[in-house]
Amino acid sequence: MYTILIINPGSTSTKIAVYRDEEAVLNHTFKHTGDEFANCTSLYDQTPIRTKLILDYLKEQNFDLKELSCVMARGGMLPPIETGGYVVNEAMKDTLIHRPSNMHASNLGALIADEIAAPLGIPAYIYDAVVAGELPPEAKVTGFPEFERQSFAHILNGRAMSRKAAAQLGKTFEECNFVVAHLGGGISIAAYRKGKMIDTVASDAGPFSPERSGSINLMYLVDLCFTEGMTKEKVMKKVNGGGGMKAHLGTADLVEVGKRIVAGDEHAKLIFDAMALQICKGIGTLLAIFEEPVDAVILTGGLANSEHLIDGICRRVKNIANIIVLPGENEMESLAQGALRILKGEEEAKVFTE
């Protein structure tokens, strides 16, 4: 039996779990108000604080750290790399601290994992970092030579749910072609051919979501950027965190929006239906890139629990593809499954190099 500590840092929380093989025996979420980080001059100053919170909690639960086989963390904003598991090493830590592709709390995962694993003499891993480097050359080209497309998507949950869907079909992930729509606070869609990501519709390049604007006609965005009083920070807030359903309806809560629709709010219904339509358009974009049959469209993420949203998508997509619905974020489970494959020798952890 393998015992695995899972660490998933976010901007306002740190989620941890202890798995014994495939069973979660401990689960806890630390909520961060910001006060504990008041004296931190950089994101990385939070590492010892979050590490101590985890260790103190495990001690309170009378958990013996010597039981651990490894520590597995959510992958951060590394430069584009192949999907899968990686050993946390000095090159990875140095890149996350000094040269990340973006600043995000997930960058702390590898650092915290190493802080806990190193004194125990056990490996620390990350799995399915946020940015993958598997796109074919033609999928990276944009209309601006200055910019190259990167594969930003909810890779961790998308690949894990692809494995689950493949099992339902009696196949392996590497035998299947999938389009995976991750439906959450941000929505991203990815195309997988025989286990490899071949294209994406990122959360800033496709459907609007409860909190994000999605893609906007460039002329609209250019006009907005030059509107009096608008700053880069204000525009970015509209794009990420203050756009989408929240901008239209004043809330990002689908339950609340559902209640409004039931009460006869036609505007709420219009916005909800528009989001479902845009998701279908994003799925259709990626279905069109395959030269061979697609096994299924997978609908996953927290919003996949919404029957109204799923119905709005299925009404259109069912005519062109098989649909498999696997609700939930599933990040902790996905990280545990990745760790188990490595520990059992079913998958080899890669070595990160700059």
Dihedral in degrees, nearest 10, Cα atoms 271, 272, 276, 278: 20
List the domains of the chain with CATH numbers: 3-133+332-351 (3.30.420.40), 154-321 (3.30.420.40)
Alpha helices in 250-351 (DSSP H): 254-262, 266-287, 307-317, 331-343
- Nearest residue to 124 via CA among 29, 2, 278, 7: 7
- Nearest residue to 209 via CA among 186, 181, 175: 186
CB 314 within 8 A of CB 181: no
Task: Give the strands of the sheet with 296-301, arranged side by side.
Answer: 196-201, 187-193, 177-183, 296-301, 323-327
Q: Examine the pLDDT at 152 and tell me if it is beyond 90.
A: no
Band of the pLDDT at 165, cuts 50, 70, 90? Answer: very high
Q: At what angle do helices 266-287 and 254-262 cross, to 10 degrees?
A: 120
Supply 312's token pair. 């709005």
Q: What's residue 300's pLDDT?
A: 96
Residue 192 CA to residue 175 CA, distance in Å, equals 10
Query: pLDDT per residue over 79-132, tens digit each?
Result: 888 899 999 999 999 999 999 888 888 999 999 999 999 999 999 999 998 888
Q: Examine the pLDDT at 354 and tell me if it is beyond 80.
A: no
Cβ-proximal residues to 319 (8 Å cutoff; 6+ apart), any chain: none
Residue 186 CA to residue 202 CA, distance in Å, equals 9
- Using CA atoms, how far residue 270 sits from 195, 219, 308, 309, in Å, is 37, 24, 13, 12
Cβ-proximal residues to 275 (8 Å cutoff; 6+ apart), any chain: 207, 208, 209, 244, 245, 309
CB 158 within 8 A of CB 187: no
Residue 102 CA to residue 50 CA, distance in Å, equals 20
Q: What's residue 212's pLDDT?
A: 92
Residue 11 CA to residue 106 CA, distance in Å, equals 8
Supply 320's token pair. 């062109």
Query: pLDDT per residue over 171-230, tens digit each?
Result: 999 999 999 999 998 899 999 999 999 999 988 899 999 999 999 999 999 999 999 899
Q: Examine the pLDDT at 34 and tell me if it is beyond 80.
A: no
| Cα 83 to chain centroid, rounded | 13
Residue 4 CA to residue 333 CA, distance in Å, equals 11
pTM, to two decimals = 0.88
CB 173 within 8 A of CB 159: yes
Query: pLDDT per residue over 300-343, tens digit each?
Result: 999 999 999 999 999 999 999 999 999 988 899 999 999 999 99
Instruction: State whether residue 122 is helix, strand or coil.
Output: coil
